[in-house]
Amino acid sequence: MGILSSALARAVSQARDNEVFVILADLLECVPSLSHLMPAVKMALARHHRVAFVCPSPTFLRPTAESTAIRSVSAEDLLLAAEQIRMRELAARLQFELRRIGATVSISGESSAIHLVMSQMAIARTGRMAAGGLR
């Protein structure tokens, strides 16, 4: 996490205009150590840059309540449901922490991941702080 934080801080220090920093990283497993990345993200946002995180998931879909439903009582299905519940909780915590400071988060595989990055680029290009009507 320290390497990512220092790389983002270095990129922010060299940026000129409103830049969009798209970070493709598996942060779902790193949620407890997310506090090391927060100062660099806050610095980027304070300098009017945009920060978008695209995180992979094992199934390439955001874990939902339907995907965590237990299909049968076999050990394999119980283990799969437990892992999906864990991933859903990690994704929710990651999104809460990063969105709280103003960054955007998407789980890869979602159709909205590309749309999220493109909308962040459009916002940065126009100089607006947020998409119309949001925040």
Put simply, whether the predicted model's pTM sits higher than 0.85 gets the answer: no
What is the pLDDT, as a whole number, of residue 128? 65
Domain-embedded: residue 131: no
Domain-embedded: residue 52: yes
Q: What is the pLDDT of residues 42-95, one digit of tens each?
A: 999 999 999 999 888 766 555 566 666 666 778 888 888 888 888 888 888 999
Instruction: Tell me how far apart the alpha carbons of residues 45 and 69 are, in angstroms, rounded to a whole number.
Output: 38
Q: What is the distance of C-alpha 116 from the center of its chain?
A: 10
What is the pLDDT, as a whole number, of residue 129? 61
Residue 52 and residue 20 in contact, taking contact as beta carbons nearer than 8 Å: yes
Domain-embedded: residue 32: yes
Q: What is the pLDDT of residues 1-52, one digit of tens each?
A: 899 999 999 999 999 888 899 998 888 888 888 999 999 999 999 999 999 9
Is residue 58 left, alpha or beta, with left meaning phi > 0 and alpha meaning psi from -120 to 50? alpha
Domain-embedded: residue 119: yes
Domain-embedded: residue 30: yes
Domain-embedded: residue 81: yes
pLDDT greater than 50 at residue 115: yes
What is the pLDDT, as a whole number, of residue 42? 96
Domain-embedded: residue 134: no
**Domain, as residue range, for 76:** 2-126
23 phi, psi to nearest 5 deg: -110, 115
